[in-house]
Amino acid sequence: MGKQTKIYIIILVFVLYFFGMQGVTKAAVQPDLNFYKGKLVTYIVATKPGGGYDTYARLIGKYLQKYLPGSTVIINNVPGAGHIIGANTLYKAAPDGLTIGTFNTGLIYSQIVGQEGIQFDLRKFSWIGKASSETRVFIVGAKAPYRTFKDILESKEPIKMPSSGVGSQDHNETMILAYALGAKFQPVPGYAGKEGEMAIIRGEVPATIGSYTGLIGMIKAKECRVLLQFGAKRTHAGLENVPHISELKVSPTGKALINLVNNVDLIGRLTAAPPNVPVARLEALRYAYKKTLTDPDFRKEAEKLGLDIDPAYGDEVKKMVLDALNQPPENLKLLKSIISQ
């Protein structure tokens, strides 16, 4: 064999080796469950104890222990700044696979707008999964004069709607939908928590947007009528015959904005880990999460607590988040201008 041939062969071997290795690493990475024996996993919840995110985390954490044998999962509540402090804490935690966390998907809007205080990039989190899909509804008070959503769109006066504050998820959503649908929504900020619902019952304001599960008490008590739903589409208790936002005729930009809102609502109760967690450990977490969410006892307990379960896992969630954030630049500019009014 000539010298040149030998060199070609050596290069060929290296190239084959290189590509071969790629194939090996991209093939099924074995989840490193052994790593978790005897270890403490911290589950950061970006809210105070009690309430939705905390309850989901405690239930999921309980079953994660079962599927990461030998591990103990503890909940660490890190509230503040509308979930930003908790998300920051998770982002900056050591990427050793021993810290995971949950926070509000509405931070997507906050990141788009460049909210002060954000120290994370949602694109870079190691995504483990999400537990539910939110259905959100547009309701009017029982005494309000609007019968269908068409009445709302055709209203001559602005529709006053309570919001917890400029920059909050409900406020952002209201502004985005107003723009997308060409509706005259006028948010009235300052209503924290359920005070907005009380305002509807009092007749102070005619309408509001909220989560279906959060408003179901009011809906069942007939204190309000549901005129529109968005996010995950449902047809039970009070939502039969309620149109879904995707059925409305809107401009292409409007459609893109509505898609964003729908997608954010579909990523409910997410769980993530800091960026750059070793692949085998991330796979272990994803494996345990998936087993948890499909465990029949888990499902039974969740139903008893009234927790909606509609899971998605790993890369699927990553894709949903990236799709929401990687909008065309004109859309991002438009969103920024709508939200920061």
Partner 1 sequence: MSLWDAIWSGLAGVLTWPAFGLMLLTIPIGLIFGIIPGMGGNMGLALLIPFTFGMKPLEGFAFLLGMHTVVHTGGSIPAILFDTPGTGPNAATCIEGFPMAQKGEAGRALGAALTSSMLGGIIGAIFMALIIPVLRPVVLAFGPPEFFMLAMMGLAFISLMSGKSLLKGLMAGGMGLIISFVGMDPQTGIVRFSFGLLQLMDGINIVTIVVGLFALAEVIDMAIKGGTIAHTKSADIKGTGVWQGIKDTFTHWWLVIRTSIIGGIIGFIPGLGGDAAAFICYGHALQTSKRKEEFGKGCVEGVIGVDAAHNAKEGGALIPTLAFGVPGSSGMAILLGAFMILGVSPGKEMFTQNLNLVFSMVWILVIANIIAVILCLPFAGPLSKITFLRTSVMIPFILVCGILGSYLTTSRISDIIITAIFGLIGYGMKRFDYARGPLILGIVLGKIAENALHISLNLYGLKFIFRPIAFIILVITLGTVLYPAYKEHMKKKLAEEGR
Q: Which residues bind partner 1 (CB under 8 A)?
A: 48-52, 54-55, 58, 75, 77-78, 80-82, 84-85, 88, 116-117, 160, 164-168, 171, 188-195, 197-199, 201-202, 204-205, 217-218, 221, 304-306, 340
- Choice between 48 and 336, CB closer to partner 1: 48
Q: Among residues 64, 130, 70, 134, which one has the least CA distance to residue 99?
A: 64
Ramachandran class of 23: left when φ > 0, alpha when ψ lies in -120 to 50, beta otherwise = alpha
Which H or E run contains 303? Answer: helix 296-305
- The least distance separating partner 1 from the CB of residue 228, rounded to whole angstroms, comes to 23
According to DSSP, the β-strands at 72-77 and 224-231 are unpaired
The minimum distance between CB 249 and partner 1, in angstroms, equals: 32
**Between residues 43 and 179, which has the closer beta carbon with respect to partner 1?**
43
3-state secondary structure of 148: coil
Select 104 or 126, whichever has its Cβ closest to partner 1.
Answer: 104
Reduced to 3 states (helix: H, G, I; strand: E, B; else coil), residue 38 is coil
Query: Are the C-beta atoms of residues 149 and 155 closer than 8 Å to each other?
Result: no
The CB-of-77 to partner 1 minimum distance in angstroms stands at: 8
Task: Work out how close the CB of 117 gets to partner 1 at its nearest, in angstroms, rounded to a whole number.
Answer: 5
- If the CB atoms of residues 83 and 130 are measured against partner 1, the closer one turns out to be 83
Between 97 and 196, whose beta carbon lies closer to partner 1? 196
C-beta closer to partner 1: residue 205 or 227: 205
Cα separation, 306 vs 47, whole angstroms = 19
CB of 17 vs partner 1, minimal distance in Å? 48
Indicate the length of the chain as a whole number: 341
44: DSSP letter = E
For residue 118, the Cα-to-chain-centroid distance in whole angstroms is: 17
Q: What is the rounded CA–CA span in Å between residue 120 and residue 274? A: 10
Instruction: Look at the alpha carbons of 162, 166, 168, 172 in this order and tell me if their dihedral is positive or negative.
Output: positive
| Smallest gap from residue 162 Cβ to partner 1 (A) | 8
